[in-house]
Amino acid sequence: MKIRLPLEKRRKLVSWLFLLPATLLIAGMSFYPMIKAFLLSFTKGFGKTSEFVGTYNYQRLFQDSLFKTALGNTFIYLIIQVPLMLILALILASLLNNPKIKCKGLFRTMIFLPCATSLVSYSIIFRSMFALDGFANSVLMNLNVINKPINWIGEIWPARIIIILAITWRWTGYNMIFYLSGLQNIDPQIYESAKIDGASASQQFRKITIPLLKPIILLTAIMSTNGTLQLFDETKNLTNGGPANMTISISQYIYKLSFEYSPQFGYAATISFIVFLLVAVLSFLQMKVGDKRD
């Protein structure tokens, strides 16, 4: 009775309909302002005094020592922190997916807590724990690891370590929950038969868990790369970019240029596009490695 499209075509139409609302929203809410911001990167001044300056802002980048510092800092965070956090999250997730471990719900909730904890409170406590006369120093002194207090927030590398610790502390549990939800899609029988074949726990982890979780690992890797390159909260609240800008992140610099300094929106947009390019290239590489359907 009904006139039906051929099944394949119908399905195709339905599939596009399914992703239409999401795609349209992103196009309007992200791409449109992105293009606007891109155009902005070829201007200087703002409002009525705005003028087109070609690639002036892009040339300026090369003379900007603060930008170079921020870029370097951000890469230090990226290279050290992202792998550290993802590996930790994977280990925790697979431990908490083990049916023999008890009190899993409690552990899961506790490890998730940091990302729910307010930035305000945790930055206050991190700063006070790592103060000169703080908790960290007294523990290390008592253990005779150090013989004089470390000025954690006042020296370059200790301050960077604090930031790396803080991000790891805050986001490990967050990444863990994606792994946990992903682990549910792995058939427990695979582990059972591996055990029968005599595979050790670490072999199971490497040969089963990681390959089967690959799509989710890719997701978290891209997300964390993106998150680190847009890092703002930790450097703003823990060290405020100091000492002497040696921990400032790119996003904090963009914020300064837009809202603290006499605004340089064109230049801020230019730096944003450098971030964009960097994340895009890194994500592209990660997709190349991790997004094969086998």
Partner 1 sequence: MKRKLLSVTLMIAMVACLFTGCSKNDGSSKTGSNNAGSKTSDQVTLTVWCWDPKFNCFAMDTAGEIYAKDHPNVKVEVIETAWNDIQTKLTTAVTGQSNTLPDIILMQDNALAKNIINYPDAFFDLTNSGIKFDQFASFKTALGTVNGKNYSVPFDNGAAITCYRTDILEQAGYTIDDFTNITWKEFIEKGKVVLEKTGKPLLSNQAGSPDLLMLMMQSAGAWVLDENGKPNFKDNAVLKEVIDTYVELEKSGVLVEVNDWDQYVSSINSTTVAGAMNGCWIIATVTSAADQSGLWGVTNIPKLSCAGATNYSSQGGSSWLVCANSKNKDVAADFLGATFGGSVELYETILPSSGALATYLPAGESAAYAKPQDFFRGDTIYLKITEYASKVPQVSYGVYNYEARDAIGTAITKIVAGTDYNTAISEAQKELEFQMGQ
Partner 2 sequence: MTKAKIRYFFAYAFLILVSFISVFPLLWMLISATNTSLDVIRGKMSFGTALVDNFKQLVQTTQIGQALINSFRNAFVLTIMSLLVCSLAGYAFEIYHDKWKDGVMKLLLLSMMVPFAATMIPLFTWFGKMNLINTTAGFMLPSISTAFLIFLFRQSSRSFPYEIVEAARLEGMSEIRIFTRIFVPIMKPTYAAAITVTFMNAWNSYLWPLVILQDKKSQTMPILISNLISGYTINYGVLMLAVSISTLPTILIFFVLQKNFTEGITGAVK
**Residue ranges in contact with partner 1 by CB under 8 A:** 21, 44, 46-47, 60, 63-66, 124, 127-128, 131-132, 151-155, 240, 242-245, 256, 258-265, 267
Nearer to partner 1, 31 or 261 (CB): 261
Site for partner 2 in 196-225 (CB under 8 A): 201, 212, 215-216, 218-219, 222-223
Residue 51 interacting entry, from partner 2, partner 1, none, C-beta within 5 to 8 Å by type? none
Six-digit token string for 273 = 């596009």
Residue 245 beta carbon to partner 2: minimum distance, rounded to whole angstroms: 18
Contact 249, 238 (CB under 8 A): no
Q: In sequence order, what are the residues at sequence separation of 6 or more whose Cβ sits closer than 8 angstroms to the Cβ of residue 65?
A: none
Tell me how far apart the alpha carbons of residues 248 and 260 are, in angstroms, rounded to a whole number.
14
Per-position DSSP letters for 127-195, written without gaps between them: HHHTSTTSHHHHHHHHTTS-SS---TTTSHHHHHHHHHHHHHHHHHHHHHHHHHHHHTTS-HHHHHHHH
Tell me how far apart the alpha carbons of residues 39 and 33 are, in angstroms, rounded to a whole number.
10
User: Binder to partner 2 among 169, 204, 245, 246 (CB under 8 A)?
Assistant: 169
User: Binder to partner 2 among 61, 178, 243, 246 (CB under 8 A)?
Assistant: 178
Position 266, amino acid: G
Number of residues that bind partner 2 (CB under 8 A): 96
Site for partner 2 in 3-42 (CB under 8 A): 11-12, 14-16, 18-19, 21-26, 28-34, 36-37, 40
Nearer to partner 1, 196 or 259 (CB): 259
Residue 287 interacting entry, from partner 1, partner 2, none, C-beta within 5 to 8 Å by type? partner 2
Residue 118 near partner 2 by CB under 8 A: yes
Residue 135 beta carbon to partner 1: minimum distance, rounded to whole angstroms: 13
The dihedral formed by the CA atoms of 255, 258, 259 and 262, expressed in degrees to the nearest 10: 130
Site for partner 2 in 241-260 (CB under 8 A): 250-251, 254-255, 258-259
Six-digit token string for 16 = 């596009």
DSSP state of 224: H
Nearer to partner 2, 155 or 260 (CB): 260
Residue 154 beta carbon to partner 1: minimum distance, rounded to whole angstroms: 5
Residue 31 beta carbon to partner 1: minimum distance, rounded to whole angstroms: 18
Residue 139 interacting entry, from partner 1, partner 2, none, C-beta within 5 to 8 Å by type? none
Site for partner 2 in 84-103 (CB under 8 A): 92, 95-98, 100-101
Tell me how far apart the alpha carbons of residues 203 and 191 are, in angstroms, rounded to a whole number.
11
Backbone torsions φ then ψ of 152, nearest 5 degrees: -55, -50
SS3 assignment, position 44 = strand
Contact 78, 228 (CB under 8 A): yes
